[in-house]
A and B are shown apart, each in its own frame.
Chain A
Amino acid sequence: GNSVTQMEGPVTLSEEAFLTINCTYTATGYPSLFWYVQYPGEGLQLLLKATKADDKGSNKGFEATYRKETTSFHLEKGSVQVSDSAVYFCALSPRGGATNKLIFGTGTLLAVQP
């Protein structure tokens, strides 16, 4: 079946530190991969996505590369800010079908301290 595994949080970093949040997936075929972010008290927003192997999604200084050989989509940022504090969800969308369901990981809370 399809599933997403994320590193457990919380992840606590100082401002300007390097961030990595690990995400691996299990899927039949070649899914699309996503990172969503949920700021406190809000719904989810798409942060970045990649639709095929070796694609790199990027947005707001965050990056993630679709690695088929390791079935991974790790999220990275070179220098985090306090405003990046949020919950980050890795997700996949199985290829094909009309429903385009998203399957999410459990989320990783990131807390950035000044």
Chain B
Amino acid sequence: SQTIHQWPATLVQPVGSPLSLECTVEGTSNPNLYWYRQAAGRGLQLLFYSVGIGQISSEVPQNLSASRPQDRQFILSSKKLLLSDSGFYLCAWRPRTGTNEKLFFGSGTQLSVL
């Protein structure tokens, strides 16, 4: 069966420090991968999505970047965190093919930038 792993679960970082959040998917190949952010009172916002290795699309201009060095690995990064980067970050995947549009989510990372 397919599983998605996201870590760390919680992270407290000072302003200006770098960030790296990692997400891996097991049990499937060629998934579409997504990073969402849930900011307080603002719901879920799609940040990045990827349809293949090295292929990243950004949905909103921001201080973050994403990379997909391997088929089932999706990394969210920042060189210098801002206070506004605080939030709950969710990685998700879905099969590349087929008509099933369901997204499978990781358990999330709560990021606090102080």
Q: Residues on A close to B: CB < 8 A?
A: 6, 32, 34, 36, 42-46, 49, 51, 89, 91, 93, 98-107
- A44-B105, A45-B105, A49-B102 are known contacts. Are A100 and B43 too (CB-CB below 8 A)? no
Q: Is the interface of B mostly helix, strand, loop or mixed?
A: strand
Q: How far is the CA of A110 from the CA of B36 in the complex (A)?
A: 22
Query: B53 interface residue, CB < 8 Å from A?
Result: no
Q: A43-B90, A104-B43, A104-B44 are in contact. Are A99 and B32 (CB under 8 A)?
A: yes
CA distance A46 to B107 in the complex (A): 13
Q: Are the C-beta atoms of A43 and B106 separated by less than 8 Å?
A: yes
- Name 14 interchain pairs, CB-CB below 8 A, sorted by A: A34-B102, A36-B105, A42-B107, A43-B90, A43-B105, A44-B92, A51-B101, A99-B49, A101-B46, A103-B46, A104-B36, A104-B43, A106-B41, A107-B43
A102 pairs with B46, CB closer than 8 A: yes
Which A residues lie within 8 Å of B57 (CB)? 99
Q: How far is the CA of A49 from the CA of B102 in the complex (A)?
A: 9
Query: Which of B36, B38, B45, B51 contacts A99 (CB under 8 A)?
Result: B51
Report the Cα distance A26→B32, complex, angstroms. Answer: 24
Q: How large is the interface on B (under 10, 10 to 19, 20 to 34, 35 or more residues)?
A: 20 to 34
- B43 in contact with A102 (CB, 8 Å): no
Question: What chain B residues lie within 8 Å of A102 (beta carbons)?
Answer: 34, 46, 92, 101, 103
Contact residues in B for A42 (Cβ distance below 8 Å): 107-108
Besides A43-B106, A101-B59, 18 more A-B contacts (Cβ < 8 Å) are A43-B6, A43-B105, A44-B44, A44-B103, A45-B105, A46-B103, A49-B101, A89-B43, A89-B44, A99-B49, A100-B32, A101-B49, A102-B34, A102-B46, A102-B92, A102-B101, A106-B41, A107-B44
* Residues of chain A within 8 A of B102, CB atoms compared: 34, 46, 49
Interface residues of B in 20-75 (CB under 8 A from A): 32, 34, 36, 38, 41-46, 49, 51, 57, 59
CB neighbours of B6 from chain A (8 A): 43
